[in-house]
Amino acid sequence: MGLSVADVMMSGQIDAQQVTAVALGSGFWLPIFLIIIGISIGSTALIGNLYGAKQHSKIAPLFIQSLYLPILLIPLTFILLASFRPILAFFETPAADLEIASAYLNALKFGMPALIIIQFMRAYCDGLGQTKVIMYLSLFMALINIPLNYVFIFGLFGLPQFGGVGCGYASSIAANITLVAFIVYLKYQHVEFKFIKPDFDKIFKIFKIGTPIGMSLLIEVSTFSFISIFIAKLGNHIVASHQIAFNIISVTFMIPLSLSLALTIRVSHHLGAKDYKQAKQTSILMLCISLMIGLSLMCMYFLIAPNLMDMYINEIEIIKLGSSILLIAGAFQIFDCLQVTTTGALRAYQDTSWPMGIAFVAFWVFALPLGYYLTYYSALDLGVRGFWIGLTLGLMLAWFGLIWRLRLAFNITSLLSAQSN
């Protein structure tokens, strides 16, 4: 996510066409990558349960089994990315934007295997509660990526000026260097990367838990990608406003998302130790914190939306439209915080299929059609803001469904606790 944010932000320093093209490329790649992140989170919940149950000898073998999944996912990713040009061409994306976006993705392909492997290493560390190293490695990657972006975009040190395409090369280099650093860290932690015969039951269990998580993430984020495609014919300024607003909320979304991941880890430890009461209390406390964060982010958008847009681009028309989108995103952010936190708790309970179904109904069945109607057919002349209103109502619907599932999980574990006593 950090790489995509930096790529969109820095390409915006050139012109609207560059930021639109890079945002389209990122918007296509990110949903695919989120499926992979979701699959890797499946191992986080399992490792967290083992850690909480103090079955430490089983953790490393499970981690090694999880590393077989990238062998399948890497070639599958390249196959899916091959559909980029036909899909955008079908939706009448301007040829110039399509060329830049395709070149950006081709440059990014060199780093995709590293990014995928890193996610499964991260899931292992997350399951053990070793989250500081993830923060340090993420900062390390950003510190490499940002200056390299500048070098490749503007053609320093004798290199050609790649423009937005240079972001893809910079991100690829940063990802591969970070992978090497991660391997060195794990070796330092005495993790042995030795061959173990594939245990397809364990691999399938990770896949079974993780795939619905990935699909839920895909459904939500791909909704924004669909919107970018649906509004492409409205012009670069409209798409740029939407994509920059999405980029901004993606940055602030990292706060509740990080808490959600921490909640998955902590609750999985409690469940592994069969401390069901503490698992429930931790979940409720984090929901309260998440609500406060959502309200704080809403206030921030209301107060400084134009300033946030100005960090990306200096074209007045884009800043004005993007600022109006961020005002709607204030309400959007409250329900986004609540739903991602609730989802984090449900992952620890290994309830992932129902949240996927809820996300499908809330975003693809409800929010997208409503947003399309409000954008193109409503008499209110909302424009692209219609899609954001639809998304906000879709998030509200999603949270109602997720909180119902979490209450059900609490009731089941309460019965288990009573039976054990």
User: How far apart are alpha carbons 341 and 333 in whole angstroms?
Assistant: 12
Question: For position 138, what pLDDT does the model report?
Answer: 85
- 247 vs 285, residue with greater confidence: 285
**Both structure tokens of 293:** 């964060």
The share of the chain scoring above pLDDT 90, in percent, equals 20
Q: Which residues contact 115 (CB under 8 A, 6 or more apart)?
A: 3, 33, 175
User: pLDDT by residue (tens digit) across 282-324?
Assistant: 999 999 999 999 999 999 988 988 888 887 777 788 888 888 8
Orientation of helix 236-272 relative to helix 385-420, angle to 10°: 0
Are the CB atoms for 60 and 192 separated by under 8 Å? yes
Q: Model-level pTM?
A: 0.76
User: pLDDT by residue (tens digit) across 197-213?
Assistant: 888 888 888 888 888 88
**Planar angle of CA 156, 157, 161, nearest 5 degrees:** 35
- 150 vs 2, residue with greater confidence: 150
Q: What Cα–Cα distance (Å) separates residue 358 from each residue in 280, 395, 410?
A: 22, 10, 19
Q: Confidence band (pLDDT; 50, 70, 90) for 10? A: low
Is 80 exceeded by the pLDDT of residue 348? yes
Residue with tokens 């800043």: 319
User: How far apart are alpha carbons 379 and 382 in whole angstroms?
Assistant: 8
